[in-house]
Homo-oligomer: A and B are copies of this chain.
Amino acid sequence: MAYRIGELAKLTGITEHTLRFYEKEGLLVPGRTNGNIRSYSEEDRLWADFILHMKGTGMALQDLKRYKELRESEGSNYQELVEILIQHQHHVEAKLAEYQHNLELIKKKIEMYQQYKDGNKTKDLYSTFAERKITEYD
C-alpha cells in the first residue's frame, strides 16, 4: 500500500505543505514513483502518526529527526535512542502532573463563578472576589 501526498494528508491530518516541509527537513522522506511523485509507504504512514503523537506531547522536530537517524543507522547506537525516549518520558510525566493539577485549579475557579451565578446575583461580584484575593489564583 502506497500513498500519494494528498492521500497521506487526509489520512494523517498533516497538510501537504507540511509534509513537503518535513521532507525538506529530512524528517519524513518518501520514495518516488517513476513519474517522480512522492510515494509514502505504510511504514511512512506509521512514522507520520508517531510524529504526531510525539510532537503533540511536546517533542521537537529536531529530536524526532535525530531519533529517525538513529533508527536508520547501522550499529548499536540504540542507547542514545532509548535516552531520547526516556527523556521524553520524563517530560511527559511532568506535563501530565502539571495538567492534572491545572485541571483541578480550573474546576475550582469555574465552580467559584457558578456559585456566584446561582447565588447572590448582586453587583457585588468583584468585591466578593476581592475579599478572597489571597486565594484567587491558588
Q: Are B102 and A134 in contact (CB under 8 A)?
A: no
Q: Nearest chain B CB to A118's CB is how many angstroms away?
A: 12
Q: Are A82 and B96 in contact (CB under 8 A)?
A: no
Chain A 119-138: CB-based contact to B (< 8 A → 1; otherwise 0): 00001011001000110111
Q: Are B96 and A103 in contact (CB under 8 A)?
A: yes
Chain A 42-76: CB-based contact to B (< 8 A → 1; otherwise 0): 11001101100110110000000000000100101
Q: Nearest chain B CB to A15's CB is how many angstroms away?
A: 20
- Among the stretches A18-26, A31-39, A83-91, the one at the interface with B is A83-91
List the interface of chain A (C-beta within 8 A of B): 42-43, 46-47, 49-50, 53-54, 56-57, 71, 74, 76, 78, 81-82, 85-86, 88-89, 92-93, 95-96, 98-103, 105-107, 109-110, 113-114, 116-117, 123, 125-126, 129, 133-134, 136-138
